[in-house]
Amino acid sequence: MRGRACGQAALDHPGRPAHNDLMMNDARRYAPSAARNRDAILKALTPYLPNYGRVLEVASGSGEHTMHFAAAHPRLMFQPSDPDPDGRASTDAWTRHLGLTNVEPAIELDVTQGSTPAIKADVVICINMIHIAPWSAIVGLMRSAAILLPPDGLLYLYGPYRRTGEHTAPSNAAFDADLKARNPAWGVRDLEAVVKLAADQCFSAPDIEAMPANNLSLFFRRH
Ligand SMILES: C[S@@+](CC[C@H](N)C(=O)[O-])C[C@H]1O[C@@H](n2cnc3c(N)ncnc32)[C@H](O)[C@@H]1O
């Protein structure tokens, strides 16, 4: 690894998702990026979480974030999801391995497909997805979150962003170039464009927290 956090770990494996980094001898996957950023994300996220309720994670990948957050918040019920069957198998294997009773089986959810899962959610979280998917995925994520969340429900996003048209670090610029070389529809998103889209979908202006390795946490509330 090159000392990058979160989705930037994908730089080490062009053409493959970060969560393929290391396979265990069962369905569980291990994403070094998740191990690096999960404590910082949990610390940032915790003050915004309700005491009780249901948390939908979009793009759970290996499932390690779900496990970490569910272990720390046993009164919340977590619903992981991902379009990738191997990711869902990993998540379910982690749930079994850890014996967590507040994690539902992972569901198939591709937010570009326009359908919203028939579940309840008080919180929607999405970590390191919107730069490694087409813009339609962000649109679908916001639309689904707007449908699922009650008034004041939380939408949490984590990842790298450009601000006022500029990258916030040379490493983010290099990561953006790498993403676009892999898929022209991918790339580090403009914070202002994401905030505008959220506003169009009935979300408040976000609280913004700077995170390690030039990432941001964005906390949106449903109107
Ligand atoms: C870089 S991985 C991040 C995984 C995990 N959140 C993490 O931070 O370790 C990106 C994830 O986005 C998922 N993904 C890509 N396109 C998606 C879409 N249209 N809808 C939902 N998830 C998507 C991939 O399957 C993958 O698990």
Give the span between the Cα atoms of 201 and 92, in whole angstroms.
32
Distance (Å) from CA 141 to ligand 1 centroid: 12
- % of the chain with per-residue pLDDT over 90: 89
* Confidence (pTM): 0.91
Question: Which of 22-36, 109-123, 174-188 has the least mean pLDDT?
Answer: 22-36
Task: Choose among 212, 36, 199, 47: nearest CA to 123.
Answer: 47
Can you tell me the mean pLDDT for 129-143? Answer: 98
Give the span between the Cα atoms of 9 and 49, in whole angstroms.
27
**Which residue's CA is the closest to the ligand 1 atom numbered 20?**
110
Contact call for residues 64 and 94 (beta carbons, < 8 A): yes
Mutate to test the pocket of ligand 1, among 55, 129, 189 (most ligand atoms within 8 A of CB): 129
Q: Is the dihedral of CA 83, 87, 88, 91 positive or negative?
A: negative
pLDDT band at 24 (very low <50, low <70, confident <90, very high): low
Distance (Å) from CA 127 to ligand 1 centroid: 8
User: How many residues can be counted in the chain?
Assistant: 223
Angle value at C-alpha 88, between 120 and 92, nearest 5 degrees: 85
Computed over every residue of the chain, the mean pLDDT equals 91
**Which residue's CA is the closest to the ligand 1 atom numbered 23?**
59
> Residue 135 is encoded by which pair of tokens?
């813009």
Look at residue 110 in the predicted model and tell me its pLDDT.
Answer: 98
* Strand, helix or coil for residue 129: coil
- DSSP strands (E only) in 40-148: 53-58, 76-80, 123-127
Question: Is residue 125 lining ligand 1, measured as CB closer than 6 Å?
Answer: no
By CB atoms closer than 10 A (0-12, 13-18, 19+), residue 62 is: buried
Look at residue 131 in the predicted model and tell me its pLDDT.
Answer: 98
Look at residue 4 in the predicted model and tell me its pLDDT.
Answer: 34
Question: Which of the following CATH numbers is that of domain 32-221: 1.10.1760.20, 3.40.109.10, 3.40.50.720, 3.40.50.150?
Answer: 3.40.50.150
Q: Is the dihedral of CA 18, 174, 214, 149 positive or negative?
A: negative
The ligand 1 atom at the shortest distance from the C-alpha of residue 111 is: 20
Task: Choose among 64, 76, 72, 92: nearest CA to 6.
Answer: 64
Residue 18 neighbours by CB distance under 10 Å: 23
Distance (Å) from CA 95 to ligand 1 centroid: 18
Phi/psi of residue 129, each to 5°?
-115, -40
Give the span between the Cα atoms of 101 and 31, in whole angstroms.
22
Question: Is residue 63 lining ligand 1, measured as CB closer than 6 Å?
Answer: no
Distance (Å) from CA 80 to ligand 1 centroid: 11
DSSP-derived letter for residue 165 is T
Can you tell me the mean pLDDT for 37-49? Answer: 98
